[in-house]
């Protein structure tokens, strides 16, 4: 019996003992394709020699310094590297150890900005149902996943309110055009600003492409332009959570590049360090930094492990590989191949209602009836069944239930590493197709 508290007390997961490229090796001798990099994390696959070498090199210099006392070269270089061309006006980076910590930092930075510029009344945040921003209490307060919130609801902050996500497959009316749906969502957001009092709102927070909770749902064209305008009109900030969809995952370094807007604060994590070290962070717009500089002079927040040298060295190596090996075009090409393959294999499947996503960030939504979009009975745990069946076919994917409202619906996320080849993509599609067939046959 393990003394490690696993995700489930009923089952022990497979023991991973090694990895190479797109494969993970388990203690029972299996070689499994890592088709989702865990939760869209392992963007360069496993045991990348340049990343491993950078970590060892950093350890040979210095493993840790505290940021109240010292800076370190790896963190300085990482910030310079990812912000070299000031993407979207983002000028500074703060590095922490996870996506949740990044979200906490974004929330506090946004609030502090308004204190610095003399608007202390701004204390409210608007986020979206079915968004996920992390599991710490602040980030969970901003999240809209009913299942994750429920046990802790009495502890969550009422500074956060939720509006509808842009989720066309589930919530766009059949007689509604894309433009009408986007406008309806804009009206709802605007109404929420007025309900709270626009002068009281700090920020609107959203995932640019929604990840785990709904399964790789990109917004319709024009949605984020409208959101940006509404935030600007009311003097509020826009926080984009790109923990899952950012740092190349959707085919551009930042997912917002495909929306024609940029955020005031961006949260990053998974693709930043590719899982080689725990690292997350925020990228901050210049006007916010200018306000801090003209005001109190410091960000009133911090963690012992912020800007950790080894984590930053690993992330810097990951980012250099992405750039030096010119992986963005591969993400784009392999993303198209993945979409074409999934459409070919599962596009007419009775139990696959939707195939969606961008770049190497795609999902299938499972349904009991394609025509009516009726979901499976949650008790069947269809997404778990597909996960298990996929393991049997030598494929790891990221399953999730609660697609529609936190309780109902099932989807599977596929997020291969950026180094995936055409043969890897074809193998993922073939194995996932077989897994879906087996899972459906099992009920």
Ligand X SMILES: Cc1ncc(COP(=O)(O)O)c(C=O)c1O
Interacting residues toward ligand X by CB under 6 A: 39, 98-100, 103, 132-134, 207, 211-212, 241, 243-244, 269, 280
What are the b/e assignments for 184-222, b being 16+ CB within 10 Å? bbbeebbebbeebebebbbbbbbbbbbbbbbbbbbbbeb
Q: CB–CB of 368/374 below 8 Å?
A: yes
Return the number of the residue (280 or 409) whose C-beta is nearest ligand X. 280
Q: Rounded to the nearest whole angstrom, what is the least distance from the CB of residue 80 to ligand X in the complex?
A: 24
CA torsion angle 16 21 22 27 (round to 10)? -20
| Nearest alpha carbon to residue 124 among 161, 170, 164, 71 | 161
Q: Rounded to the nearest whole angstrom, what is the least distance from the CB of residue 143 to ligand X in the complex?
A: 8
Q: Rounded to the nearest whole angstrom, what is the least distance from the CB of residue 358 to ligand X in the complex?
A: 14
Give the span between the Cα atoms of 153 and 150, in whole angstroms. 5
Return the number of the residue (186 or 271) whose C-beta is nearest ligand X. 271
| Nearest alpha carbon to residue 409 among 170, 186, 194 | 170
Return the number of the residue (129 or 431) whose C-beta is nearest ligand X. 129
Return the number of the residue (279 or 334) whose C-beta is nearest ligand X. 279
Q: Rounded to the nearest whole angstrom, what is the least distance from the CB of residue 277 to ligand X in the complex?
A: 12
Q: Rounded to the nearest whole angstrom, what is the least distance from the CB of residue 213 to ligand X in the complex?
A: 8
Q: Which helix (H) or strand (E) holds 382?
A: helix 382-392
Return the number of the residue (212 or 395) whose C-beta is nearest ligand X. 212
Q: Rounded to the nearest whole angstrom, what is the least distance from the CB of residue 7 to ligand X in the complex?
A: 13
Q: Rounded to the nearest whole angstrom, what is the least distance from the CB of residue 97 to ligand X in the complex?
A: 8
| Nearest alpha carbon to residue 211 among 103, 288, 97 | 103
Residue nearest to ligand X (CB): 99
Q: CB–CB of 148/132 below 8 Å?
A: yes
Return the number of the residue (207 or 375) whose C-beta is nearest ligand X. 207
Q: Rounded to the nearest whole angstrom, what is the least distance from the CB of residue 421 to ligand X in the complex?
A: 26
Q: CB–CB of 205/173 below 8 Å?
A: no
In eight-state DSSP terms, residue 377 is P
Burial class (CB in 10 A: 0-12, 13-18, 19+), 108: middle
Return the number of the residue (34 or 207) whose C-beta is nearest ligand X. 207
Return the number of the residue (240 or 367) whose C-beta is nearest ligand X. 240
């Amino acid at each position: 019996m393990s003394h490690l508290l696993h995700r489930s007390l009923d089952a022990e997961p497979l023991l991973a003992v090694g990895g190479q490229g797109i494969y993970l090796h388990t203690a029972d001798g299996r070689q499994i394709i890592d088709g989702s990099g865990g939760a869209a994390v392992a963007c360069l696959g496993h045991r990348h020699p340049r990343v491993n070498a950078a970590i060892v090199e950093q350890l040979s210099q210095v493993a840790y310094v505290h940021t109240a006392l010292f800076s370190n070269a790896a963190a300085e270089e990482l910030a310079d590297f990812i912000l070299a061309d000031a993407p979207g006006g983002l000028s500074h980076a703060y590095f922490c150890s996870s996506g949740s910590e990044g979200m906490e930092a974004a929330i506090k930075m946004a609030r502090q900005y308004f204190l610095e510029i003399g608007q202390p009344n701004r204390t409210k945040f608007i986020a979206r149902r079915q968004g996920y921003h992390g599991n710490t209490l602040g980030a969970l307060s901003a999240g809209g996943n009913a299942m994750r919130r429920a046990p802790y609801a009495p502890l969550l902050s009422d500074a956060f309110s939720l509006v509808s996500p842009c989720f066309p497959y589930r919530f766009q009316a059949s007689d509604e055009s894309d433009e009408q749906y986007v406008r309806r969502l804009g009206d709802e957001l605007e109404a929420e600003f007025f309900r709270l009092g626009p002068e009281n709102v700090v920020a609107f927070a959203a995932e640019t492409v929604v990840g785990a909770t709904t399964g790789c749902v990109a917004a319709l064209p024009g949605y984020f332009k409208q959101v940006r305008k509404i935030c600007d009109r009311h003097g509020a900030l826009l926080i984009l959570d790109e923990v899952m969809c950012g740092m190349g995952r959707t085919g551009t370094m930042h997912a917002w590049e495909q929306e024609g807007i940029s955020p005031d604060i961006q949260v990053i994590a998974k693709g930043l360090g590719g899982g080689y070290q725990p690292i997350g962070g925020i990228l901050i717009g210049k006007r916010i930094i200018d306000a801090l500089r003209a005001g109190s002079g410091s960000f009133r927040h911090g963690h012992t492990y912020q800007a950790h040298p080894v984590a930053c060295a690993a992330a810097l190596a990951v980012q250099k590989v992405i750039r030096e090996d010119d992986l963005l075009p591969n993400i784009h090409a392999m993303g198209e191949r993945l979409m074409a393959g999934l459409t070919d294999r599962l596009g007419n499947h009775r139990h696959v209602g939707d195939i969606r996503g961008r770049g190497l960030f795609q999902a299938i939504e499972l349904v009991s009836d394609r025509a009516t979009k009726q979901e499976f009975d949650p008790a069947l745990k269809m997404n778990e069944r597909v996960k298990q069946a996929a393991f049997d076919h030598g494929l790891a994917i990221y399953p999730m239930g609660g697609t529609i409202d936190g309780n109902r619906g099932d989807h599977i996320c596929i997020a291969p590493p950026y180094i995936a080849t055409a043969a890897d993509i074809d193998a993922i599609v073939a194995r996932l197709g077989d897994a879906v067939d087996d899972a459906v046959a099992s009920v």
